[in-house]
Structure 1
Amino acid sequence: MVDWEYAVRLGTRFAGEGPVVTRSEADDAVAQLRAGAERSTGLVRDFTGLTAEARTAPILVVDRGGWIQANAESFAVLLEPIMEKVAGTKAPSRTARMVGGRIAGTELGVLLGFMGSRVLGQFDPFTGDGRLLLVAPNVVHIERELKVDPSDFRLWVCLHEETHRVQFTAVPWMRDHIRSQVDALSATFEPQRMLGDTLKGVSRAVRGEGGSLMELMSTPDQREIIDRVTGVMSLLEGHADVVMDGVGPEVIPSVEAIRAKFSERRAGVGVLDRVLRRLMGLDAKMAQYRDGASFVRHVVDKVGMEGFNAVWNSAEELPSKAEIHDPAAWVARVHG
């Protein structure tokens, strides 16, 4: 259903190689990112109270092509239930499979290429025991663009991504919970509706009507699942942002300048960039950082970090999308 090899090749070409660096600069960036990830483990533990064993997931410092390859592998795992459902509707001809696989590979390749030129890091919980990916060319590109101290910026990025590793490693049920939501979404998938809904969703998203393409083309049942996932992802992203800014002043002298410049950049620039962000749900992603961080800060202010950590007890204690915007409701529900 998807020509994965073609998607990776196209995505890698679309993303480009990134900034020009000398071999010495590249080696220095790789070494600092590895060291920053290792150093972040203890810093995240001390700030959050969450304990995750060191080196339970590999740290991979990759280029853009490496990130694209890794995410194609993850997509293949996550999309397997949907692919099986599509394949089961009707046995396509060999030509249809080839054409369809190339079309899907093109769409996915463009998506991965766009994201691969921007993502700084990512914890992938769905491959093996998980893996921490740090995209060196993008880190170097952004630190140059923002004119910030490279060593400080690299550690700042590592703090955010290491927090995600801790979230999934110290909270072992989190991976299965998110995967169950993906499987639930797959169960509601109706292949015959896909093309028409996609075209309508693209048109509405480009006009700025509603949310991301996923939200615009989803059914009410699917949106209910998406809302649950949005609540979880807002929590995870906001928590990581709070950690990186909370730990930062102790170990990163220029953290305030980095945060100010980085927040301004998150707004996006240019019409095309804003349209692509809207289509791919990146506007919603930015809201997750903001809303999730506000939720975490409010709860910690009311019940302390130990009280906040009740969110990790079970899936029932996770905040809903509505509670992310009303943290007092979560405090009342969980802490009475």
Structure 2
Amino acid sequence: MNLYRSARAVAGASGDDAIDWASAAEAAKAATDPGSIALEAGEQEAYARDVRDAREGIRTVSGLEFDVPDTVEIQNRHHWIDANVATFERVMGTLEDHAPPGAFPGVARTINTGTMTVLLAFLGRNVLGQYDPLLLAETPDDDHALYFVRPNILKAADALAVDSDRFRRWIAFHEVTHAAEFGAAPWLSEHLERRMEDGIAKLSEGSFDRQAFRELDAAMTVVEGYAELLMDHAFDGEYADLRRKLDERRQGRGPLQRLFRRLLGLGLKRRQYERGKDFFETIVDARDLETASLVWEGPEYLPSHEELDAPGVWLRRVER
């Protein structure tokens, strides 16, 4: 780590955009130990095997037709930062497109770049794996991607006192469930993109489109909750201890870590996991997994914000 180089990169932010993305990436990497991707013998094949097994297991229990992305990468923390700068830039670009000329003077740009640096560095040190649907990509045919941040996986397994191979496999199953969702529902990416663009456009005009963000939150709750449901059915090993220890680790972090998680909306993501999982467990208990999978038939099958807390209402609507 080189905090001086990080601060210097932020201070040198330039350009016409709200954020100097090149400086943010440089500063975040300077503030973050990259970690090692010096793979042990057989480790690369183990990652590949986990992904293949996850694909077959999830196909079997869900009946969904999908494939994993062509791009599957074992990354260090710097690799993850580089891969996600483009994603953040695409999302923020929607806001910048609606901003008036000269809206981002030098001081504001420096502050924005510093804020993004902190965000990228924090996530780069904590993300374990990621399925990236490449939302708002310029070319719709761009392949989705699957990332594993090896140093973070090893560090978390050590902190949790769990077997690193089993933990890595569990992460692989979780991320491949997201590939299953987006593969089974080709309309999902566009649905999420529209809600993001609508909400950001309103923000740039100084207003808040509550409905757009409620619909986005509901859709992401479905994505996270269904992934949790498939994990329960598809993972070929014991995982209750992994979930319990991860939850305890999140809750037991220091005040600064908890503050960062609140500021970054990671508490919201956890709520999406829990709320979505409760919804789908209720549906499966009342019907079956096939009925739960109806959510991927089209956007009209997605539960509304209210239906997520009233699964019976959703059931009556889709079974008419």
Question: Alpha-carbon deviations, 1:51-78, whole Å to 9, x = none?
Answer: 1034x44111111111111111011122
Which residue matches 2:125?
Answer: 117
Q: Kindly provide the amino acid, as one letter, of the partner of residue 314 in structure 1.
A: G
Distance (whole Å) between structure 2 residues aligned to residue 57 and residue 174 of structure 1:
19
Distance (whole Å) between structure 1 residues aligned to residue 285 and residue 244 of structure 2:
23
Distance (whole Å) between structure 1 residues aligned to residue 163 and residue 148 of structure 2:
18
State yes or no: 1:91 paired with 2:90: no
| Offset of residue 149 of structure 1 | 1.3
Distance (whole Å) between structure 1 residues aligned to residue 261 and residue 67 of structure 2:
35
For the residue of structure 2 that corresponds to 1:67, the secondary structure is: helix
User: Contact 2:37–2:75 at 8 Å: present in 1 too?
Assistant: no
Distance (whole Å) between structure 2 residues aligned to residue 240 and residue 156 of structure 1:
12
Q: Kindly provide the amino acid, as one letter, of the partner of residue 187 in structure 1.
A: A
For the residue of structure 1 that corresponds to 2:148, the secondary structure is: strand
- C-alpha RMSD over aligned residues: 2.1
Which residue matches 1:224?
Answer: 211
State yes or no: 1:299 paired with 2:283: yes
User: Contact 2:67–2:179 at 8 Å: present in 1 too?
Assistant: no
Match of 1:329 among 310, 313, 318: 313
Match of 2:189 among 175, 186, 189: 175
Question: Alpha-carbon deviations, 1:126-162, whole Å to 9, x = none?
Answer: 2522111111111111111111111111111000100
User: Contact 2:72–2:146 at 8 Å: present in 1 too?
Assistant: yes
State yes or no: 1:102 paired with 2:119: no
State yes or no: 1:42 paired with 2:56: yes
Match of 1:6 among 11, 17, 23: 23
Match of 2:302 among 284, 308, 318: 318
Which residue matches 2:14?
Answer: none
State yes or no: 1:82 paired with 2:95: yes
The aligned runs of 1:204-243 (5 Å cut-off) are 219=207, 221-243=208-230
User: Contact 2:37–2:151 at 8 Å: present in 1 too?
Assistant: no
Which residue matches 1:61?
Answer: 74
Q: Kindly provide the amino acid, as one letter, of the partner of residue 243 in structure 1.
A: L
Q: Kindly provide the amino acid, as one letter, of the partner of residue 244 in structure 1.
A: M
State yes or no: 1:284 paired with 2:268: yes
Q: Kindly provide the amino acid, as one letter, of the partner of residue 108 in structure 1.
A: M
Q: Kindly provide the amino acid, as one letter, of the partner of residue 106 in structure 1.
A: G
Distance (whole Å) between structure 2 residues aligned to residue 119 and residue 223 of structure 1:
29
TM-score by length of 2: 0.86
Which residue matches 2:251?
Answer: 267
For the residue of structure 2 that corresponds to 1:144, the secondary structure is: helix
For the residue of structure 1 that corresponds to 2:56, the secondary structure is: helix
Q: Kindly provide the amino acid, as one letter, of the partner of residue 91 in structure 1.
A: G
The aligned runs of 1:248-267 (5 Å cut-off) are 248=235, 251-252=236-237, 254-267=238-251
Distance (whole Å) between structure 2 residues aligned to residue 190 and residue 175 of structure 1:
22
For the residue of structure 2 that corresponds to 1:47, the secondary structure is: helix
| Offset of residue 318 of structure 1 | 0.5
Distance (whole Å) between structure 2 residues aligned to residue 97 and residue 60 of structure 1:
37
For the residue of structure 2 that corresponds to 1:118, the secondary structure is: coil
Identity, % of aligned positions = 30
State yes or no: 1:129 paired with 2:146: no
Match of 1:246 among 233, 236, 244: 233
Between structures 1 and 2, the one with greater helix share:
1
Size of the aligned set, in residue pairs, is: 297
Distance (whole Å) between structure 2 residues aligned to residue 139 and residue 61 of structure 1:
11
For the residue of structure 1 that corresponds to 2:127, the secondary structure is: coil
Unaligned runs of 5+ in 1: 194-218
Distance (whole Å) between structure 2 residues aligned to residue 274 and residue 236 of structure 1:
24
Which residue matches 1:213?
Answer: none
Gap change, CA 1:118 and 1:22, over 3 Å in 2: closer
Question: Alpha-carbon deviations, 1:12-34, whole Å to 9, x = none?
Answer: 2333334xx69454x65544323
Match of 1:163 among 174, 177, 187: 177
Distance (whole Å) between structure 1 residues aligned to residue 279 and residue 229 of structure 2:
10
Which piece of structure 1 moves more, 180-189 or 121-130? 121-130
TM-score by length of 1: 0.82
| Offset of residue 277 of structure 1 | 1.3
Which residue matches 1:197?
Answer: none
Gap change, CA 1:242 and 1:100, over 3 Å in 2: same
Gap change, CA 1:333 and 1:266, over 3 Å in 2: farther
Distance (whole Å) between structure 2 residues aligned to residue 229 and residue 148 of structure 1:
35
Question: Alpha-carbon deviations, 1:150-182, whole Å to 9, x = none?
Answer: 111111100010011111122110011100111
For the residue of structure 2 that corresponds to 1:59, the secondary structure is: strand
